[in-house]
Structure 1
């Protein structure tokens, strides 16, 4: 599959490369990995003078032959991005076969069509219930108990259905997310108002964790560390707007509740106990499992992803018992799961994020964000700002730690076909 190729074959290779890159990016892959995969595919099919440019919503390939032939530039838009790790695994297998020079161009195009049409990893109703199950699991981790877990499930399901209803009518995703967060907060406020003897605010924490952008956050940090600063900035903007929507939904409901005289205090803001007791371990396990389902992880890889939630929570709690600062403990725990997830992913030959992203769920700063918004609405601007900055620091620590763990194995492990698509890292030294 090397040597001179005809213009027609070169154009077919460019078309296939763009389509694979589009599906990789839409399924949740980082910009760096998409760019390197596209370059490797094009060169494998004999298109040597190739340049790839990938950003958050468009991919461009330029083929400038050195034999005097007409240059070609092609672009594809990524109009819909939704995480689908089952499709991502299939695409990585396809890239591995192509770069291993075992798949002709015609067969590659056929395989790609099959992947694009493949059935969902889980039934549609399971995917619809997954965010609500995430919220229920987070409520258990936070110490809410069965009643609160059920309330979190119902509130998040209602919020998700309300967001879906708005989406079908063309309402922007920002407002869909704000409404979903507001429904969860309203359920908690109602239980506090009625003085139900449970940890009602754990409902909000569950709903918030179900909405937080864990996958875009890790991809943002990964792109920034890899030197893809334009796309990293775009992803960061996406993360900021999602978080702003969540905070807006919480803030509106809390403001109305405080003005209406509902007695909400900072004591109502729960924090997950630093414990390895059965409820916390079950909550961490279920968070990993439900996040894996929400991200459409293939069923055979779902149990390891679920166990990752227990591993990252155990590492975090043990570090906190040793009096490590929360942000540093978060980063190290994320690095541990990044390394372990990469080792397992290397053995079963799938992308590490299939295991790493679902596992970070227990450390997402849902309770810290709720505490910050509650303090702001109670008039403690300094205290509220402090908690929101802590939430941002925790989020960045998760992303940086996870990528560090993945790159440790990349640096120390042996090179194989999948790693050859990543060139040597740039060394700009700041200038």
Structure 2
């Protein structure tokens, strides 16, 4: 078995080293036109790079990759000495000529950040073609307009349905039956529509998320109040998993490891506010229910059975598949993400069976996904995010977060705080594990490709 895995990895590595006729691995040669920031075409090239950076960052790409894509575009058009500064809400390009001419600085704000992995793939493909085929500025601008105007790969109703199916699949994963899955589905749809209603009226996203989270707790409270013989709390856990910021978490850890500390801090702040909104919505509803006499105890909190039984495997695959649809992953790339969900759950369970603590098992299972996802992404020439982010869905710490909130609501402050810290540790283990797996693959790449992705790593020894 290990020999087969070794042969498979060796084959992927060789394929990744082969020249790519489509994405510019060296099969095509061209002589780029040389622009300067004082030329009109130089301004157009900088504007083009800023627009590409905005689309990549808004679609969920990491800061390091956004800056690298912009530099590749400008180098393709002969513009050297350009510095790119990418923050969570603004992108800046500065061109400082070495012949004494005046420097030029341009900035673009990123006002809308909504994950769209179909657009992300299209923009990355365009960047590769610019670097390899020498597209003119006019051709590139027309291609970019086509990408921004293209119809979404899935209609809005299907994206909402996928979000609800994440909750239903998560409810099945942690041991809920058909009734619980249906209740989680309804609660998520209701919460999402309520949040959309607030969005149309200009209410900040914090309150939208809090309201959406409260619907899952409301449905669970109603089931417990009516003594329905189901794991009602699984509804809340499913709703929590659908709202947890797995994508920003991985991007934050990646930015921090790459040395982009300002953006990493901003992403962590965003994560804190998202989680705080989820906590506020669920905690408020649980506190209200306890004050009204609804018998909610810690015994109501389910935990995912650590088995490889068909319901758990189906739930894990379902979570990843529906996550991929919600993130607008193209249909041709849905299957690898779904398989990744089954792989990460299987790896996690096997590690726990062999005595690994939950946090360690989570990090190692995520590292496997990071390695496998990066290798597969390199093979098919798309960003690894397309496969990795949906695959981590089954390990998002919904149960630990809900248990901590419930314990805080019933007055067990110390125990509740410990469970919230556990949920945070699991989340950070996911992010760190994914990046470790990706860096393991990067470390064994060819020297030329490694330099293109990351020109040099700073070695500060902590100073």
**TM-score tier (shorter):** over 0.9
- Please say if 1:75 is aligned against 2:107: yes
**Shift of residue 167, structure 1, vs aligned partner:** 0.4
Label 1:150 to 1:193 Cα distance change in 2 as closer, same or farther (>3 A).
Answer: same
The residue aligned with 1:254 is: 286
The residue aligned with 2:35 is: 5
**Shift of residue 131, structure 1, vs aligned partner:** 1.3
The residue aligned with 2:190 is: 158
Taking structure 1 as the reference length, the TM-score comes to: 0.98
Measure, in 2, the Cα distance between the counterparts of 1:108 and 1:384.
54
The residue aligned with 1:175 is: 207
**Shift of residue 413, structure 1, vs aligned partner:** 2.3
Matches within 5 A, 1:18-417: 18-414=50-446
Q: Is the deviation greater in 280-289 or in 98-107? A: 98-107
Measure, in 1, the Cα distance between the counterparts of 2:350 and 2:150.
42
Q: Is the deviation greater in 418-427 or in 265-274? A: 418-427
Label 1:387 to 1:124 Cα distance change in 2 as closer, same or farther (>3 A).
Answer: same
**Shift of residue 125, structure 1, vs aligned partner:** 1.2
Measure, in 1, the Cα distance between the counterparts of 2:451 and 2:337.
22
User: Cα deviation per residue 1:56-83 (whole Å; 9 max; x = unaligned)?
Assistant: 0000001111223332111100010000
**Shift of residue 415, structure 1, vs aligned partner:** 5.2
Measure, in 2, the Cα distance between the counterparts of 1:191 and 1:67.
73
Measure, in 1, the Cα distance between the counterparts of 2:171 and 2:238.
5
User: Cα deviation per residue 1:239-298 (whole Å; 9 max; x = unaligned)?
Assistant: 000000001111101101111111111010111110100000000010010000010001
Secondary structure of 1:62's counterpart equals strand
Name structure 2 gaps, 5 residues minimum: 1-30
User: Cα deviation per residue 1:78-134 (whole Å; 9 max; x = unaligned)?
Assistant: 010000000001111111111224322221111111111111111221012121111
Label 1:419 to 1:121 Cα distance change in 2 as closer, same or farther (>3 A).
Answer: farther
> Contact (CA 8 Å) 1:40, 1:421: kept in 2 or not?
no
Provide the alpha-carbon RMSD of the alignment. Answer: 1.2
Measure, in 1, the Cα distance between the counterparts of 2:451 and 2:346.
30
Q: Is the deviation greater in 291-300 or in 66-75? A: 66-75
The residue aligned with 2:18 is: none
Name structure 1 gaps, 5 residues minimum: none
Secondary structure of 2:94's counterpart equals strand
> Contact (CA 8 Å) 2:211, 2:281: kept in 1 or not?
yes
**Shift of residue 43, structure 1, vs aligned partner:** 1.6
Label 1:359 to 1:315 Cα distance change in 2 as closer, same or farther (>3 A).
Answer: same
**Shift of residue 425, structure 1, vs aligned partner:** 1.7
Secondary structure of 2:303's counterpart equals coil
Measure, in 1, the Cα distance between the counterparts of 2:357 and 2:82.
47
Secondary structure of 2:390's counterpart equals helix
Taking structure 2 as the reference length, the TM-score comes to: 0.91
> Which residue, out of 16, 28, 42, partners 2:48?
16
